[in-house]
Amino acid sequence: MKTKEQLGGIYSASITAYDASGQVDGAALQRVMTRNLEEGAAGFFVGGSSGECFLLTEAERVEVFEAAAAFRGKTNLIAHVGAISTAEAVRYAKAAMSMGFDFTAATAPFYYGFSPREICRYYYDIAEASGAPVLIYNFPGNTHKEIDTANPDYIQLLRSGAILGVKQTNYNLFQMERILNLNPDLIAFNGYDETMVAGQALGGIGSIGSTFNMMLPHYKKIFDLFAAGDRAAALELQHRANNCMEAMCRVGLIPAIKYELSRQGYPVGGPRAPFSPLTQEQKDYLDGVLDRYLVTE
């Protein structure tokens, strides 16, 4: 198993690329991944929210894993396998690990009112199927499932060895620190791009971000400056990044990322419906903000 030092750093939460007919385009995804590696990415979080995972068929989700698996042995690869059904999540986990991914990650099963015990059982089952500990993709804003660090089922899970750590896509970074406090052997990745320096300050070994697909050099500078102790310079670049993030969220984050990748010379198709493509007015607004604040090298 890889060490914390080997796993630390900046990870792109990879997009899913589509061709002109709307089908998954593995080659286009690989071009973006190659670029991100050249820019200093420590790895990739594949098939997550940025990859429109819940808008894909089961076959398409596996197809995305297959495209990313071309980089096995060259970088760290984490496959998001979250699903409502444990059986479906287990199928993704087995497929990804057979392709050479290092670990799996999973959102909590959502929609139904699953109990903490049922959610924990889901993670145990994924860990058993994958043969490796699982990264909890903690995204309560979307799943509406919180990790209760006082609940005995969650405490047992976090100390069980079935869990690698947490991708904290939650503005509650106190919760992330409490998770690490329960088990110092766990690792944590900051999951909201806009809180990266705060995540580092509270023990995150890295950051997994959607906008890293198209602005990884900017965030690599933030990460490295903070790690070197230059808090003021890191915070200044975080402010600039957050100006970009605010603009992208205002027009639609995933459509904005895919539009900007295309503008940078990496066409990956538009977002899948019910997402809407950007209007010309939104594109003009976004161009103005990114051209002003984005650091490209």
Which residues are known catalytic residues?
137, 167
Indicate the helix (H) or strand (E) that contains 12: strand 9-13
Distance CA 116, CA 122 (A): 10
Indicate the helix (H) or strand (E) that contains 168: strand 163-168
Distance CA 53, CA 80 (A): 8
Length of the chain measured in residues: 297
Give the largest CA-CA distance in the chain. Answer: 52
DSSP string, 230-257: -HHHHHHHHHHHHHHHHHHHHH-HHHHH
Tokens representing residue 62 in the block: 């596996």
Cα four-point dihedral sign 139, 143, 144, 146: negative
247, HSE (Cβ side, Cα atoms, 13 Å): 23
DSSP string, 53-106: GGGS-HHHHHHHHHHHGGGBTTBEEEEE---SSHHHHHHHHHHHHHTT-SEEEE
Q: Report cis status (omega within 30 of 0) of the bond before 274.
A: yes
